[in-house]
Structure 1
Amino acid sequence: MHQARYRRILRFAARAFAQIWWFELVLPRLGLGRVADRTRDARMLRLARRFRGLAVELGGLMIKVGQFMSSRLDVLPPEITAELAGLQDEVPAERFDDIRAAAEAELGMPLSHAFASFDPAPVAAASLGQAHRATLSPTDAADTGLDRVIVKVQRPGIDEIVAVDLAALRRVARWAQRVRAVSSRVDAPALVEEFAETCHEEIDYLHEAASAERFASDFADDARVSAPAVVWERSTRRVLTLEDVTAIKISDTVALRAAGIDPAEVAQVFAQVMLDQVFTHSFVHADPHPGNIFVTPSADGGWRLTFIDFGMMAEVPDTIRAGLRTLVIAVASRDSHGLIVAAQQIGVLLPSAQTAELERALTMLFARFGGMGFNELRDVDPREFQDFAREFGDTVRALPVQFPEKMLLLMRAVSLTSGMCSALDPTFNIWEPVEPYATKLLRDESGGMLRDLGAQSMTNMSTLWRLPARVDAALNRLDSGSLTFDISSLELRLDRIIRVAYRAVSAVLFGGMLIGGVLLLEPASGWGVGLMCASVVPLLHAVFGRR
């Protein structure tokens, strides 16, 4: 069964490559490039729809592949990403008997012993696992202080399916890397490995449990945020037991108003909390869709945001944090070169990227926002930013740019946050919560620049202090005749260049003698044959001469 799955993925990829090769490479060489251009959008849309159908039918990791591809605005055309953006991680539920067998094998005991009750009907069914409500046994309830829990159980055999799908994807990536038009813009094997790393983390429930506890620790002193407690005694790599924190879904504005909670206030707090994750804690919930966030009312009339599902987290490394700081400052000062530096710090640019072209493109894209500070930017019509995003996306896809997986997860989190806040409050402006962080970054950067300037000044003063003595010592050595220069490496390089030049002359001489001999074959065959035979000498020197 797994071999059939493997072959089906490869057949789909081979058909897609053949279609792209024919329309994008062959037809333009036959003078039919306009045909390829005219049909490109429709072809890309059909390809995306075929892949979506394949992903839904196969399930498993292929749905995750579609979701991953929908975020790759840097390497895929918008027709494909838009079609895949709606691919939901919802599949038919697994038979409860199979789920029970998998859970009991992991926990090492019958479910009736592990839990006081276990609901056979799943709360949610996803491609990698499904969740059920349960009640802890009296002993566990006394130890943990919890009663109602949610138990996530991996689908039986999902490890084998993930291994098969990743093997197929790695082979497809190797195919893609052999196409120069692809390899010059996209490091396909690296993309697959980034995706594989994310998937392995997502199917390791112990990793998710650790992420949940880390998230809770980050916001332990913040009354605005909470996360479910982990029941470690009933958690393994394939079974995860968490506190049941079900409350008002963040997108349910009717229920929020009924509870006396202003959705606009929820939007502001949600945006602030997400920005705190990025700029303060460097640990971001990368899948903040409505099903993963609840608004939990409290007895005193207040409320808090409760996050669940920590399988997809984005840890922001120092390099990306530094790049984001540079990016914010460059945007504020309309510095195109600063944007290039930020892209290099983040790791966006591939080695083949022509930074001069990218800098010119960024200059044109940001020209419309020139001279605007953050206070002015937040008053810009959101449609202006949508136009900018569309144009910038076209520029990115035309250049060898590839976002690191961590950066893409971060962008996904920001995108979902902006969409959710706009749904809660139609007048929401993303620049209002961003402005305090941008101001702090600029202030911190100013302080850092002063420290760097001071350190550089001390270094320069030290160098100037030592310079007279070093110049005097060099002059004394010159007067005494003991000053020498090591040019041995330069001599070796010159010798190598001379030998290459001799071999090039031999190659030209061979070509001339051969052509001359061919031309003399009819009027003076003897001379012609002799000249062709003599051309072997310079040929041998050109081919076998010492390098």
Structure 2
Amino acid sequence: MPAAPTTVIGTASRAPDTRKRYRRILRFAGWNLAVTWFFELLLPRIGLTRIAERTRPKRMQRFARRFHVLAVELGGLMIKVGQFMSSRLDVLPPEITKELEGLQDEVPPVPFELIKQLAEAELGLPLWRAFTWVDETPVAAASLGQAHRARLAPADAADTGLDAVMLKVQRPGIDAIVEVDLAALRRVGRWLSHVRLVSDRVDAPALVEEFAATSLEEIDYLHEAANSVRFADDFAADARVGVPQVVWERSTRRVLTLEDVTAIKITDADALRAAGIDPADVAPVFAAVMFDQLFTNGFFHADPHPGNIFVTPLAPPADARPGDPGDLDDASETDAAVAHPWRLTFIDFGMMGTVPANTRSGLRKMLIAAASRDGKGLVAAAQDLGVLLPSAETSELERALTQLFARFGGMGFAELREVDPREFRDFGVEFGHVVRSLPFQLPENFLLIIRAMSLTSGVCSALDPSFNLWNSVEPYAQQLIREERGNLAQDLGRQALENLQLAWRLPKRLDDLVTRAEEGRLVVSNPALERRVGRLERTARRLISGVLFGAVFIAGAIVRADDAVFGTVLMIVSVLPLLHALFAGRTGPRDR
């Protein structure tokens, strides 16, 4: 296979270019980690929390703007990282997500001559022999490749039954760029693994490896083609979903030829209305299709942003009339077209996720618990999924979730925006310590699940600002409950056995409890009180160290006027209590 053209990444310039790119990514990450450490960890330790809070929105916005510039200039996986951050509305502030929203649309295209050279090298023949026409202006330019409209040569058109196709070609030299970006991200992941605030919640290196595996699959177009076939098989009997056909004879690892299925972009409300389609009708169907992928099929589109989903109007057969006899399959197709005179057409299957059976079961339990406003069930599902460690003391979290459901459960995003912000703040003050003290973590396979759900929610809200995800969750949860009833006998049998074992052990446990009380060995624990006492003790010790630092430093400054050496020594020694005031409790037991 011929090497990529030297105008993109030449043999002589490749090493210095990649080293420069690598260093630039690390410099950006290192500087912003240092700034975050200073404001979010250091200032609160010395009692300057208000400064950190007051400056946070501007700092977040400044970070997002700088990353935006970096991603557009470097391209490659930096665009993917920015896209992921823009979709994390659940954990990242709007200052970041809003700034990175349109990042994908700003990727500059590669000159067609370079695309043509790579495509011909991959296909092993001139483009004019494979296609009767190729549009030199790309339809879309993404971070890893770009797409051009084309028409198949007559022989291929006769074999496939297709004429209009989409020619998707990788960016020349993207393999080397991805390799460098992954090396830099792995280094940043190792840095984050040493930050307890991060490492307590997520295994950053494992998260990077998951991102790496997904990215390497994305630049293998044969893998993408196989994904599209599997996805099409999952929805073969579902009239709501369409998938483009693959032209295998004109596809390789770096070139992919697909049926051109371009239609109405899912969030183009004006075009939908012009076609007689109400955007508000599309939102629940899209949500239901995504739920089917996640909770039923276990194989889902992990990048369902608006550019990857079309709404394709369906024209019912001209001779289709109610009561006409005919083939049953044709009749069902006609009924589906009448019920929904359009379908959702998915494209770009490079980023797909697989949900293992045990994870899918936990997700189903979480969905049912959320729809039932069951705080205890939601905590149990989180433990099953590994989001919350089984050893965690969860009674306070269950109480917090119960109150959360009671006040905000069932509200859509539009309704939540109308809630007084002070209510959220009061809730955060009351239960914030509960959430922070619990051993939450992000399982490795959750990166794509969270991305898919975040994008789904965003698309549905764009289609209908008043869209309430609960309206789609609840009927789906009811369907899952009905399906779960098939295992009801097993569940009841298992529960009866557990109750029997508990009854068998109860007399011994009661006897042991009475014995410990009589011997004075009974200990009653109040975790919240212990946390508060621990914090007060550490604050007192740090306050004493701060006063001692001030006293010794001032004494040194006074003595230094008469005895320069001794005064300087005192001022240097004052650093020791200062360090204790700043870092006391850093390696001690954490609040639980």
Pick one of 254, 279, 283 that aligns with 1:267.
283
Query: Partners in 1 of 2:22 and 2:300 — Cα distance?
Result: 34
Q: Note closer, same or farther for the CA distance 1:336–1:133 as it changes in structure 2 (3 Å cut).
A: same
Query: Partners in 1 of 2:39 and 2:272 — Cα distance?
Result: 52
Post-superposition shift, 1:175?
1.6
Q: Which moved more, 1:119-128 or 1:277-286?
A: 277-286
Structure 2 counterpart of 1:23: 39
Q: Any idea what the Cα deviations from partners look like across 1:215-256, whole Å, max 9, x if unmatched?
A: 111121222221100011111111111001112223333333
Pick one of 275, 278, 295 that aligns with 1:279.
295
Structure 1 counterpart of 2:85: 69
Runs of 5+ unmatched residues, structure 2: 1-16, 318-340, 504-592
Q: TM-score, normalised by structure 1?
A: 0.75
1:131 partner letter? A
Query: Partners in 1 of 2:498 and 2:188 — Cα distance?
Result: 52
Preserved CA contact (<8 Å) 2:247 2:258: yes
Post-superposition shift, 1:92?
0.9
Structure 1 counterpart of 2:354: 315
Query: Partners in 2 of 1:74 and 1:399 — Cα distance?
Result: 18
Preserved CA contact (<8 Å) 1:283 1:316: yes
Tell me the SS of whatever aligns to 1:142: helix
Preserved CA contact (<8 Å) 1:185 1:350: no
Q: Any idea what the Cα deviations from partners look like across 1:330-364, whole Å, max 9, x if unmatched?
A: 23444333222211222323689664554444344
Structure 1 counterpart of 2:265: 249
Tell me the SS of whatever aligns to 2:209: helix
Q: Are 1:142 and 2:158 matched, yes or no?
A: yes
Q: Note closer, same or farther for the CA distance 1:233–1:119 as it changes in structure 2 (3 Å cut).
A: same
Query: Partners in 1 of 2:312 and 2:43 — Cα distance?
Result: 59
Structure 1 counterpart of 2:231: 215
Q: Any idea what the Cα deviations from partners look like across 1:504-536, whole Å, max 9, x if unmatched?
A: xxxxxxxxxxxxxxxxxxxxxxxxxxxxxxxxx
Q: Any idea what the Cα deviations from partners look like across 1:69-117, whole Å, max 9, x if unmatched?
A: 3344676555434433443253111011111111122212221222222
Q: TM-score, normalised by structure 2?
A: 0.69
Preserved CA contact (<8 Å) 2:193 2:199: yes
Pick one of 122, 125, 143 that aligns with 2:138.
122
Q: Any idea what the Cα deviations from partners look like across 1:176-205, whole Å, max 9, x if unmatched?
A: 222333322332112211211221122111
Tell me the SS of whatever aligns to 1:291: helix
Runs of 5+ unmatched residues, structure 1: 371-375, 465-547
Structure 1 counterpart of 2:370: 331
Structure 1 counterpart of 2:214: 198
Q: Are 1:343 and 2:382 matched, yes or no?
A: yes
Structure 1 vs Structure 2 CA RMSD: 3.5
2:229 partner letter? E
**Greater C-alpha Rg:** 1
Post-superposition shift, 1:31?
4.2
Tell me the SS of whatever aligns to 1:310: coil
Post-superposition shift, 1:55?
1.1
Q: How many residues matched?
A: 461
Query: Partners in 2 of 1:136 and 1:256 — Cα distance?
Result: 29
Query: Partners in 2 of 1:389 and 1:316 — Cα distance?
Result: 33
Q: Note closer, same or farther for the CA distance 1:28–1:452 as it changes in structure 2 (3 Å cut).
A: closer
Post-superposition shift, 1:455?
5.4
Q: Are 1:432 and 2:471 matched, yes or no?
A: yes
Pick one of 14, 37, 44 that aligns with 2:30.
14
Percent identity between matched residues is 68
Query: Partners in 2 of 1:170 and 1:352 — Cα distance?
Result: 30
Preserved CA contact (<8 Å) 1:327 1:338: yes
1:119 partner letter? D
2:263 partner letter? A
Matching of residues 361-376 of structure 1 within 5 Å: 361-368=400-407
Query: Partners in 2 of 1:24 and 1:198 — Cα distance?
Result: 31
Structure 1 counterpart of 2:182: 166
Query: Partners in 2 of 1:316 and 1:181 — Cα distance?
Result: 28
Tell me the SS of whatever aligns to 1:94: coil
Preserved CA contact (<8 Å) 2:295 2:363: no
Preserved CA contact (<8 Å) 1:63 1:89: no
Q: Note closer, same or farther for the CA distance 1:326–1:4 as it changes in structure 2 (3 Å cut).
A: same
Pick one of 278, 281, 291 that aligns with 2:307.
291
Structure 1 counterpart of 2:240: 224
Post-superposition shift, 1:306?
1.6
Query: Partners in 2 of 1:281 and 1:172 — Cα distance?
Result: 34
Q: Note closer, same or farther for the CA distance 1:196–1:291 as it changes in structure 2 (3 Å cut).
A: same
Query: Partners in 1 of 2:233 and 2:403 — Cα distance?
Result: 44
Q: Note closer, same or farther for the CA distance 1:356–1:78 as it changes in structure 2 (3 Å cut).
A: farther
Preserved CA contact (<8 Å) 2:265 2:306: yes
Post-superposition shift, 1:22?
2.6
Q: Which moved more, 1:43-52 or 1:83-92?
A: 83-92
Query: Partners in 2 of 1:378 and 1:14 — Cα distance?
Result: 38
